[in-house]
Each structure stands twice: as C-alpha cells, then as structure tokens.
Amino acid sequence: MTPSDRDATGLLTKPDQFVQLVGPTGDRRHDAEYDRWVADIDLAALGRLYRDMAIVRRLDAEATALQRQGELGLWPPLAGQEAAQIGSARALRDDDFVFTSYREHAVAWCRGVGPAELLTVWRGSAASGWNPFEHGMAVPQIIIGAQALHATGYAMGLAWEGSDAASVAYFGDGATSEGDVNEALIFAASFDAPVVFFCQNNQWAISEPVGLQSKQPLARRADGFGMPGIRVDGNDVLAVLAATRVALDRARRGGGPTFIEAVTYRVGPHTTADDPKRYRTEDELAEWGARDPLTRVLALLGASGVDTAALEGEVADEAARAAAELRAAVTTIPDPEPMSVFDHVYAEPNSHLARQRDHYGRYLAMFDETDAAASAADGGAR
C-alpha cells in the first residue's frame, strides 16, 4: 500500500480497500501508519484477543440456542462481527462511554456486563439489564441510529468539562441512512466532540444490502461532514484495534470526532426471527466464510510459533464454561413482580400514575381474595 492510495484524511480511496494488518490467511500485512498503534500487541496479547472473540462467539451461539428452546424471546446474533466489536472495545478506557445498538454483545463482554445482565432484556424479564454507569455503556438502542446523537451529546459534555475521556457510537450500515446519524455527525463536527462513530458495515440491514443505503464506501461520507474517515477490515481484530486507537487518541487530544467504517459481515440472521435465505446466497456466505476473523488470528499465531491446538482447546474449554454459566444465569432469572410494571416511569412522585397503580393493585388483590376464599372452601386442602 502506498501513500498515494490515501486521500488527505487518511482514507483509502478505492472502494475495495481498507486498512488491513492481518489478511484472511493470517498473513501479517505491514502498514507504516497503523502498525505503530498496535506495537504493544505481542503474541500473548493477540492470544487474548483470540480468546475474547472465541468466547463471545460461543456465548452468541448459546444465546441463539436458548432462543430456539424458548428461553429467550428474541436474539440478534453477532456471529461474524467478533473482530469489529472486540478490536474496537478493547481500545477503550474504563472512563470512556459507549452507546450501542442491540447487537454489540461483544462490546458488552469487554465492558464487563455479566451474562444475566446481558440477556434479561431478551428474555423479556426487565426493560434493561445493567446500570449504564457501572459499565460505561448505555442501555441498548433499538431505534436505529438514535444513539449516535446520545454519544455526541455525551462527548460535548466531556469536552465542556475538560475531560480527556471519549464516547463511542456503535451503529450499522443501515443506520447511516437515518437522520439522527447524519445530525450527530454535524453536531460532533461543529462542536469538536470527542466521539468515535464506529459503523459496522455488515453488508445487510435485515434484507436490504448496503448498496441501498450508499452508492459509495460509507467512510467517504466523513469528509463531507468535516471529519476524518477510516475504512478498516472489520474482520481483522488488529486493524480494528489500531484504527480505534487512532480515533480515540484524536478525540482525547481535542481533535474531535472520527468516523470508522469497519467492513464486516453478519453471518447469521438479523435476529432469530429472520430467514436470510430469502435474500442472500450460499456463495456469498462462503465468500465471507473465507474471511473469518478468528481463523486468521489462529493462523498468524501458528505461523509465529504458538501452539494453537493447545490455545484452541484451552479457550474452547473456557468458552464452554462461560456458555454453561450463561445458560444457568438465564434460566434462573426470576420473573418480574406484576406491580413492577409501574416502576421507574417517573423519577418523582406522579399523582396520575399513583392512582392507576393503586387501582390495578386493587384489581390484582381481588384474585388473591378469590384464591383465599377457594382455599378456605376447600378446607385449606389446596
């Protein structure tokens, strides 16, 4: 790759190009600009990135199985996007704050969100699973692209406070068509907000191909908004880590926002309710299968002298334990108390809702009395 392949913002100018440090076969590709950002990633650190990816892949498969068995209402699998999520989230500091969509399970893993915390919302047991301020991660966002504005506002606040922390907005290729994302890019640029826009271009927005959202590489849009854009191989964990570190460093130094397009692929369905066979081909799956984010890291480690069979076995055992823990945690999440349906609508007392709550409580109590009366009629036999 030569400097002339890049435009003034560092963006690779040809649509099929991106920053890549590890090729699909595990070949280490040197890049003068990005190598230095991952100079600290030795074989042990690379092994840890592999471990992260392997475990989240296993947890994701377990969650899909749990949905099939009726333990979860719905599950949006992340399979295929492990490198994009682990590479970016492992670049973060604890005091950074992420605003994600609903598929960023690997980001949640990196932020220390536990299995029950992650899955309770998908089981339908609670509105959300974790305290955002304990993990530096907002509640998941289903409204496409809305969180890009939240990340931008949060970053504006960081800048006004003089903090050197940053925020990250995770969203997909489909979200780039939403007004909210475009407005977020405008606000972030105008206020030099320390925010990273991390777009996982996984090629599909349910059934709609990325070509319907954009006629050119998404990262090129950044220039129009007045910020640098980086197009990175989203299946190359090392390149994603490097690109995110570049963007975070710029944010921390007052350089403002960066747009990253991580080119990846959603291997599974949009959610467990989707059937991707209706809109994409086996050939395409095979093509992307050859670019798998995990196999290339194993290949690189193997070529560097690491005993990958041992590593794989060790990580597989750990992943299996994590999956068992996930299953146990999910199936023992207690069902919520009926009257909790009224909790947390308001932060302060509210006369209208208090009355409605009171009335519903009386209604429910009627059944208790019926049960008690029936029980008494049975002579307490029931």
Partner 1 sequence: MTTLTLGKALNAGLRRALAADEKVVLMGEDIGTLGGVFRITDGLKAEFGAHRVVDTPLSEAGILGTAVGLAYRGFRPVVEIQFDGFIYPAFDQIVAQVAKLHYRSRGNVRMPLTIRVPFGGGIGAAEHHSESPEAYFAHTAGLRVIACSNPADAYVMIQQAIASDDPVLFFEPKRRYHVKGEVDESASLADAKPMGVASVVAAGTDVTLVTYGALVQTARDAASAAAEEGVSIEVIDLRSLAPVDYATVEASVRRTGRLVITHEAGQQGGVGAELAASVTERCFEFLEAAPVRVTGHDIPYPPAKLERHHLPDLDRILDGVDRVLGRPNSLSGVEA
Interface residues with partner 1 (CB under 8 A)? 97, 99, 126-128, 131-133, 138-139, 143, 146, 148-158, 160-161, 167, 179-180, 183-184, 186-187, 190, 343-348, 350-353
CB of 264 to partner 1, least distance (A): 26
Give yes or no: 270 in active site. yes
Nearest distance from residue 120's CB to partner 1, in Å? 10
Nearer to partner 1, 52 or 96 (CB): 96
Distances (CA, A) of 101 to 63, 135, 172: 17, 16, 8
Q: Which is nearer to partner 1, 115 or 153 (CB)?
A: 153
CA 285, CA 323: separation in Å to the nearest integer?
Answer: 25
34 is catalytic: no
Question: For partner 1, which is the closer residue by CB, 97 or 204?
Answer: 97
Query: How many residues in the chain?
Result: 382
CA–CA–CA angle 247, 252, 253 (5° rounding):
100
Q: Is 257 helix (H, G, I), strand (E, B) or coil?
A: coil
* 266 classed as catalytic: yes
| For partner 1, the closer CB: 152 or 201 | 152
Smallest distance from the beta carbon of 368 to partner 1, in angstroms? 26
Q: Note whether 116 and 59 are within 8 A (CB).
A: no
In the sheet that holds 97-99, the strands lie side by side as: 97-99, 167-172, 195-201, 258-263, 229-233
Distance CA 322, CA 324 (A): 5
- Of the candidates 68, 279, 321, 355, the residue annotated as catalytic is 279
Residue that is written with structure tokens 């271009």 in the block: 201
Shortest Cβ distance from residue 191 to partner 1 (Å)?
8
Phi/psi for 34 (5° steps) reads -100, -20
Closer residue to partner 1, CB minimum distance, 184 or 199:
184
- What one-character DSSP code corresponds to residue 196? E
Q: Which of 111, 220, 266, 327 is catalytic?
A: 266
Catalytic residue from among 150, 250, 270, 291:
270
CB of 1 to partner 1, least distance (A): 36
**DSSP letters for 22-80:** B-TTS-B---TTTGGGGTT--HHHHHHHHHHHHHHHHHHHHHHHHHHTTSSS-----TT
Q: How far is the CB of 179 from partner 1 (least distance, A)?
A: 6
**HSE toward the beta carbon, residue 331, CA cutoff 13 A:** 13
Cβ proximity to partner 1: between 128 and 281 the closer is: 128
Q: E strands of 72-122, at which residues?
A: 97-99
Q: Which residues contact 128 (CB under 8 A, 6 or more apart)?
A: 120, 121, 139, 140
Active site residues: 266, 270, 279
